[in-house]
Amino acid sequence: MRAMQIPSDHPLLLRIVDDLAERGWSQQNIFLPDALTRALAAECRQRAAEGELAPAAVGRGPFSEIREGIRGDRIQWIEPGQAQACDRYLGLMDSLREAMNRGLFLGLEDFESHFALYPPGAFYLKHVDRFRDDDRRMVSAVLYLNDAWLPEHGGQLRMYLDDGVEHDVVPSGGCLVVFLSGQIPHEVLPATRDRLSLTGWFRRRGNELF
């Protein structure tokens, strides 16, 4: 299985880097080819049908717990070598990691990502992605996998920006949203149909001794 990589100076990646430098977030409505978006959606649905997606928890380590009143998605982490579509996506994310390191000097070392399926009515209340006791997550990346999504289906990602501005992202297939993990509060609004995504984080080396 070959990863899908593009040069780290590709104009699309440089646009994301420029957006992060200027305002702390970037939205690219057409990031993936349709065929790869459909393949990733099919992989997510297959894993869900086979019972591999589990309720997501809030918190970290021994303090994590499942609280559906806060978040209601079901997830499974992806690893290299599991599926060709996932490997292609991870290759693209590695190209983006290199571009951000070159342009923003973030020292990003790796990328972790999971499928997320929100059934109808599920949501995730307002939060930030960086843990209080772990500063490794630097940049969040959400890729949407939903075919023919309409605004009336709901499920928007609502970002709370500076000066009280709220920005809603419709989770249309192939759209990628990237933002600084510790700086932009956000929430997932409930939808009327299954809402699929790949949610991930670019991480730097942590300060932990072990």
Instruction: Label residue 134 by pLDDT band (50, 70, 90).
Output: confident
Domains of the chain from N-terminus onward? 21-57+71-204 (2.60.120.620)
- Tell me the per-residue pLDDT of 91-113, one tens digit each, with 9 for 90 and over: 999 999 999 999 999 999 999 99
Kindly report the pTM of this predicted structure. Answer: 0.91
Which of the given ranges, 64-73, 76-85, 126-135, has the highest pLDDT on average?
A: 76-85
Say how far apart CA 116 and CA 57 lie, in whole Å: 12
pLDDT mean over 151-174: 96
Amino acid identity of 75? I
Tokens 């869900």 sit at which residue?
48
- Tell me the per-residue pLDDT of 43-67, one tens digit each, with 9 for 90 and over: 999 999 999 999 987 665 655 566 6
Please give the mean pLDDT across all residues of the chain.
91
Tokens matching residue 172: 């249309």
What integer pLDDT is reported at residue 205 of this predicted model? 82
What integer pLDDT is reported at residue 63 of this predicted model? 52
Q: Which whole-number Å values give the CA distances from 96 to 14, 84, 92, 128, 179, in the listed order?
A: 9, 19, 6, 21, 13
